[in-house]
Structure 1
Amino acid sequence: MTHAVRAPELADWAMSQGRGALTTAEVAELLGVDPDQVRRRLHAPARRGEWVQPVRGLWVPVPPEFRTWGAPPGMEIIDMMMHHLRVCYYVGWLSAAALHGASHQAPQVFQVGVDRQVRDRSVGRTRFSFAQRNVEAVPTISHPTREGTAQVSTIAATMLDIADDLHRAAGLDNAATVIVELSEDPTFDPADLIGLSTTFPAAATRRVGWILSRFTDRDDLAPLRDVAPGLAVSPSHLDPHSTVRGSMDDDWMLMINRDVEPDT
């Protein structure tokens, strides 16, 4: 690196060089100052919306079209943030569902699974919500971003995450809506759910199977239906938060303890 860049031009220089983010040490070297002076040097450019610091020690230049937002969209910076923190992650739940095309209800927060605790935060218009997960057990795809790629849970893993954590899914009705929408993707195969059925709680697989059998016309669910009852000895509840006892669906070993009304 050289020391020829001035602070007011640094954001444009970084973007022209394809640098999606700079560490405090890199900024200091480029400006020819000590690291403890970086925040002061970038204070004015940051106030103009040219820089954002999503995590301590990482500076992200903000493209002009996002400067009124205060930062690039969450999808554009999540990989850089997690790489800087050395945290394994994946974009999941409703955020992943939206990326897979199930955009019936846009998520209010950007939902990310992480392998260790990360504090929720707002960066520009994006509110990040982090949840500790066994990240290595969740299959992902690489979703393209401006600066590279970000890891996003697969369709089957997204379905199971949503069915497992109905709070993050904005409730059972919305979960059913999203699961049905995800099942319409031509690449979805119920066999993928079977492959993940021992990774997720039995209730998640049973809920997904029941929702697909109840609200779609799929004719390829028999193998999943054969697996679901043996995933756990005890029956699962369709709504884990309801104390109402309902009828038992023996095919899925699932107690149907409330009505479901997906918006399909």
Structure 2
Amino acid sequence: MEYSDYTSWIHERSIRGNVFFSLDDIEKNYPGVSKEVILVALSRMQDNGLIVSPWKTFYIIVPTEYKLKGEVPPSYYIDELMKYLHRDYYVCLLSAATIYGACHQRSQTYYVMASGNSLRDGVKNGTKLVFSQRQDIPKAYVLQVKTQTGMMNISSPLMTALDIINMEGKIGGMSRAAEIIAELDESFKLSTADYDLLKTYPVPVIQRFGYILSILEYDEHAQWVADACKALNIKFRKTPLKAGKPCDESHEIDKQWKLIINTQIEIDEL
């Protein structure tokens, strides 16, 4: 086989709008060619900027608008990649917050929540893909947004905030979490939100969320959390504001949210 045969196959797929393919796809098209030969051709096409591979054996034909940069944004391919991996998913944390206008700086990290066993993080095409896991993704609270290639799943604003608190260590700590929640404020629309989403998170996450809303002086939002906990019969127990950080008798206790204030949230930066 000539290299031009493979590039012609790529070109034919591209003009038909089939911009994603797997190693299986190309092997089926060239049944008489060894995998090693095909991999060499794929590697050469990557070197030449014709294709990129954000995941082993999964490839993207680079669209014209990204050829100069040599990077394809994850929003272009994440839905197709997760289908390829047979995983339910949603874009989460700072990547979801950015879509809602809460993060104004482009991050070089793309955050994805996936079902099933853990997936390895990796840096591909200039962006680090960071995966978190939930065994049961609450699909009723996952939204879809349009992308260049179709649709992708993202967490709702409320789910985004809860995930940010639940995984604050991944996004820069509790003060950073409070900053993003402040920026998400106008997206929450808690008056029409479903209380049941709270049942999918550990109780300490709900306590921390309520506390942050209180110190941000988002009193209506904080009251919504309190009302939801009462309706759902969610009971609070004393728990640290910062998980994993030592507590002692010198730490103040927030009576409403029953949190041991073992870290300070720098709200003066908000």
Interval containing the TM-score (normalised by the shorter chain) = 0.7 to 0.9
| Partner residue, 2:103 | 103
Q: 1:43 to 1:239 in 2, by over 3 A?
A: closer
SS of 2:123 mapped into structure 1: strand
Q: 1:247 aligns with which of 230, 246, 252?
A: 252
Shift of residue 25 of structure 1? 3.2
Q: 1:106 to 1:174 in 2, by over 3 A?
A: farther
| Partner residue, 2:41 | 41
Shift of residue 104 of structure 1? 4.2
Residue 156 (str. 1) matches residue 161 (str. 2)? no
Q: 1:223 to 1:142 in 2, by over 3 A?
A: closer
Question: What is the TM-score of this pair, normalised by structure 1?
Answer: 0.86
| Partner residue, 2:149 | 147
User: Quick one: distance in 1 between partners of 2:82 and 2:197?
Assistant: 25
Asked if the contact 1:244–1:258 (Cα under 8 Å) also holds between the matched residues in 2, the reply is no
Asked if the contact 2:247–2:260 (Cα under 8 Å) also holds between the matched residues in 1, the reply is no
Residues 9-48 of structure 1 aligned to structure 2 (within 5 Å): 9-30=8-29, 34=33, 36=35, 37-48=37-48
Q: Which amino acid aligns with 1:166?
A: E
| Partner residue, 1:237 | 240
Q: Which structure carries more helix by proportion?
A: 2
Residues 113-262 of structure 1 aligned to structure 2 (within 5 Å): 113-115=113-115, 116-137=117-138, 139-185=141-187, 188-189=189-190, 192=193, 194-228=195-229, 231-245=234-248, 246-262=251-267
Could you list the per-position Cα deviations for residues 129-170 of structure 1 after superposition, in whole angstroms to 9, with x for gaps in the alignment?
A: 111113422521112111111111111111111111111121
User: Quick one: distance in 2 between partners of 1:59 and 1:86?
Assistant: 16
Could you list the per-position Cα deviations for residues 58-104 of structure 1 after superposition, in whole angstroms to 9, with x for gaps in the alignment?
A: 22101133234444111111111111111221111111111121114
SS of 1:219 mapped into structure 2: helix
Q: 1:30 to 1:97 in 2, by over 3 A?
A: same
Asked if the contact 1:180–1:211 (Cα under 8 Å) also holds between the matched residues in 2, the reply is no
Structure 2's unaligned 5+ residue stretches are none
Question: What is the TM-score of this pair, normalised by structure 2?
Answer: 0.85
Could you list the per-position Cα deviations for residues 188-220 of structure 1 after superposition, in whole angstroms to 9, with x for gaps in the alignment?
A: 216637322221011111111111122144435
Structure 1's unaligned 5+ residue stretches are none
| Partner residue, 1:85 | 85
Shift of residue 47 of structure 1? 0.9
User: Quick one: distance in 2 between partners of 1:33 and 1:72?
Assistant: 32
